[in-house]
């Protein structure tokens, strides 16, 4: 589904974050070392090629809630914004740290005059964040930031499977 608020389009789709043609920046659910890993990070680094890890090396490590930006190498985008989400049950307070990921990613997007950004469900895989809670934090945070955005006009959530898509759709539709 999609929604337009403050002139900004927010949409949720099912798909692979590493094949978002036509989107300026994709967001990586990174590890602290910004290395290739599993899940989103694995898909992004495999599609980007080894140049991405090389560019990431001097930027690591990052802490939960932080974000850094790099080029996109062989991906069909201009930038990758790498966020380290909280490990559920370990990095606290989880909701604040997860919210910071979205805030810091959008701050970098604004600074780099990025028009469109695609996010995965940060922390909702290997890091164990329950998908409903992760979706609510993600959508609520985005809604709070919308009035401050000047450059970003499209925010896309890319969910890997239909059940996660339904959860994000219902979080989005329940927001004013």
Query: Residue 33 Cβ, how far from ligand AR6 at the closest point, in Å?
Result: 8
Least Cβ distance, residue 7 to ligand AR6 (angstroms) = 26
**Residue 39 within binding range of ligand AR6, rule CB under 6 A:** yes
Binding mask 88-127 for ligand AR6 (x = CB under 6 A): --------------------------------xxxxxxxx
Q: Which residues pair with 70 in a beta bridge?
A: 80
Of 4-12, 15-23, 51-59, 106-114, the window that binds ligand AR6 (rule: CB under 6 A) is 15-23
Which residues, at least 6 apart from 113, have a Cβ–Cβ distance to it below 8 Å?
A: 151
DSSP result, 83-137: E-PPPTTTSSSHHHHHHHHHHHHHHHHHHTT--EEEE--TTSSTT---HHHHHHH
Contact stretch for ligand AR6 (CB under 6 A) within 11-19, 52-60, 89-97, 138-146: 11-19
- Residue 62 is classified by DSSP as -
Say whether residue 29 binds ligand AR6 (CB under 6 A): yes
Out of 12, 23, 40, 80, name the contact with ligand AR6 by CB under 6 A. Answer: 40
DSSP 176: -
DSSP, collapsed to helix, strand or coil, labels residue 143 as helix
Positions that interact with ligand AR6 (CB under 6 A): 16-18, 29, 31, 37-41, 43, 85, 120-127, 158, 160, 164
């Amino acid at each position: 589904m999609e929604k337009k608020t403050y002139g900004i389009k927010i949409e949720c789709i099912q798909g692979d974050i590493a094949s978002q043609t036509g989107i300026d920046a994709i967001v990586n659910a990174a590890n602290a070392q910004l290395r290739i890993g599993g899940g989103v990070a694995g898909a992004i680094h495999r599609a980007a090629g080894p140049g991405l890890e090389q560019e990431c090396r001097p930027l690591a490590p990052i802490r939960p809630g932080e974000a850094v930006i790099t080029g996109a190498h062989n991906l069909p985008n201009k930038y990758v914004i790498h966020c380290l989400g909280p490990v559920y049950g370990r990095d606290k307070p989880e909701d604040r740290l997860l919210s910071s990921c979205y805030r810091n990613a959008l701050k970098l997007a604004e600074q780099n005059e990025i028009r469109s950004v695609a996010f995965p469900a940060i922390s909702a895989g290997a890091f164990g964040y329950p998908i409903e809670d992760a979706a609510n934090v993600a959508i609520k945070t985005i809604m709070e930031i919308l009035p401050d955005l000047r450059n970003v006009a499209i925010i896309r959530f890319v969910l890997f499977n239909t059940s996660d898509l339904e959860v994000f759709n219902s979080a989005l539709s329940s927001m004013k």
